[in-house]
Chains A and B, each alone.
Chain A
Amino acid sequence: MRFDSLLDSVGRTPLVGLPRLSPSADVRLWAKLEDRNPTGSVKDRAAIAMVERAEKDGLLHPGSTLLEPTSGNTGIALAMVARQRGYHLVCVMPENTSVERAQLLRAWGARIVHSGAAGGSNEAVRVAKGLAAEHPDWVMLYQYGNAANAQAHFDTTGPELLADLPTITHFVGGLGTTGTLMGVGRYFAQEKPDVQIIAAEPRYGDLVYGLRNIDEGFVPELFDSAVLTSRYSVGAADAVRRMRELLEVEGIFAGVSTGAILHAALGVARKAERDGRAADIALVVCDGGWKYLSTGAYDGTLDEAEEALEGQLWA
């Protein structure tokens, strides 16, 4: 496979069967390996789409500074795009994220502004909005409300899945900015409306929900619950257990959020099996496990890993 540049190689990721985790020949699981993107996560798709949209809208010029609130992967993806296009990048990232994320951002030349741990990404969004007001010349692409984020998945991830798995019955993705689920969900609503759209959402420790009041909560502007068939909340214990199972049984080394997605996908598979229905369930491997090695997610017992992740933004 030959591409004109790294950016041209984003997407067209492999969809691999999970024969040993699939309950039967009629109920099958398929993993979309988004860790094969240039910076190792699904966020490369949104990053390039948002930057290209902003360029078309005339918002960016050589030497422009991008600003983004991110728990890691979107920032890393934007940093790569920024390097290719000659932009600067400032990322606002919660301090309770893995050390590898900050190391990678710096390696790609991004500047990091840390936001407080309490409130997680909500706090990062708040700080970034403040910085945007102070620096009107900076361009905040704002992944939570940027239509190009969801559109990237409508234009690429959805069609790739349908081409590789025409018999698809379920799509299971992670709910963060909601871009993947909104884009893929709308694509299937148009092309194959009986496909069920299942969201797996991380359930963190108390610290992350430590807002001062409920009105400080945050729902991404992109989100529309009508696109979803089901939305599951998955805690760190289940996410880590499934992440390790994926590694042990299928040899796939994925990050913790993928464990949460697999947990929801296995629930869907069990239900299909119980109901005697055939199912082809596609799930997203959001990123590889590399960025989580320091968190302790792969070390010791499940209880130890769960404890290590307490208070961390692991997805």
Chain B
Amino acid sequence: MAVEVRVPTILRDYTSGERVVLASGASVATVIDDLDVNYPGIAERLLDDSGLRRFVNVYLNDEDVRVLDGLDTVVADNDSITILPAVAGG
């Protein structure tokens, strides 16, 4: 299953500057695994031993996966995933 993954500026070193790349997988975790096959090292920037790094937000079709099922959130064909660093508001 192919999904679009939007990569933030800070991680585009891994994707040769590409903003949007394709990856496949049935869950957020497997999509990240697949990303790491094509863009080695990127998974380590997104994950630590406890799961998603604290300052990394991942959105599935604009919805934060932390409030869904985290890395186990199911991904369907043509979904879109956006990765962003956490920033402040207010």
Enumerate chain B residues within 8 angstroms of A212, measured Cβ to Cβ: 10
Q: Which one, B53, B57, B82, B88, contacts A144 given CB within 8 A?
A: B88
A71 at the interface (CB under 8 A from B): yes
Residue from A120, A199, A214, A232 in contact with B88 in the complex, judged by beta carbons closer than 8 Å: A120
Q: Which residues of B contact A219 (CB under 8 A)?
A: 54-55, 86
Does A167 make an interface contact (CB < 8 A)?
A: no
Chain A nearest CB, measured from B87 CB (Å): 5
B63 touches A176 (CB 8 A): no
Chain B binder among A10-18, A52-60, A104-112, A200-208 = A200-208
User: Of B55, B63, B90, which one neighbours A121 at CB under 8 angstroms?
Assistant: B90
Interface of A is mostly: mixed
Residues of A within 8 A of B66 (CB): 225, 231
Query: Which residue on A lies nearest to B45, using beta carbons?
Result: A214
**Is A233 touching B64 in the complex (CB atoms < 8 A)?**
yes
A209-B9, A216-B55 known; A122-B67 Cβ under 8 A:
no
Q: Is A234 an interface residue (CB 8 A)?
A: yes
What's the dominant secondary structure at chain B's contact region? Answer: mixed
Q: How far is the CA of A218 from the CA of B11 in the complex (A)?
A: 17
Shortest CB–CB separation between residue B66 and chain A, in angstroms? 5
B67 touches A210 (CB 8 A): no
Assess whether B67 is in contact with A211, with CB atoms less than 8 Å apart.
no
Interface size class of A (residues with CB under 8 A): 35 or more
Q: Are A70 and B90 within 8 A (Cβ)?
A: yes
Whole-angstrom distance between the Cβ of B14 and the nearest chain A Cβ: 12
Pick the contact of B90: A177, A214, A215, A225 (CB < 8 A). Answer: A177
> Is B84's CB within 8 Å of the partner chain A?
yes
Give the distance in Å from the alpha carbon of A144 to the alpha carbon of B88 in the complex: 8
Cβ contacts under 8 Å, B62 to chain A: 203, 232-234
Q: Is the CB of A209 within 8 A of B88?
A: no
Determine if B56 is an interface residue (Cβ-Cβ < 8 Å): yes
- List chain B positions with a Cβ less than 8 A from chain A: 8-11, 45, 53-57, 59, 62-64, 66-67, 82, 84-90
Residues of A within 8 A of B (CB): 43, 69-71, 73-74, 119-122, 124-125, 143-144, 174-177, 179, 199, 201-204, 206, 208-220, 225, 228-234, 315
24 contacts between A and B (CB under 8 A): A73-B90, A121-B88, A144-B90, A174-B89, A176-B90, A202-B89, A203-B84, A204-B87, A209-B87, A210-B10, A212-B10, A214-B55, A218-B88, A219-B54, A225-B66, A230-B64, A230-B67, A231-B63, A231-B66, A231-B67, A232-B63, A233-B57, A233-B59, A233-B84
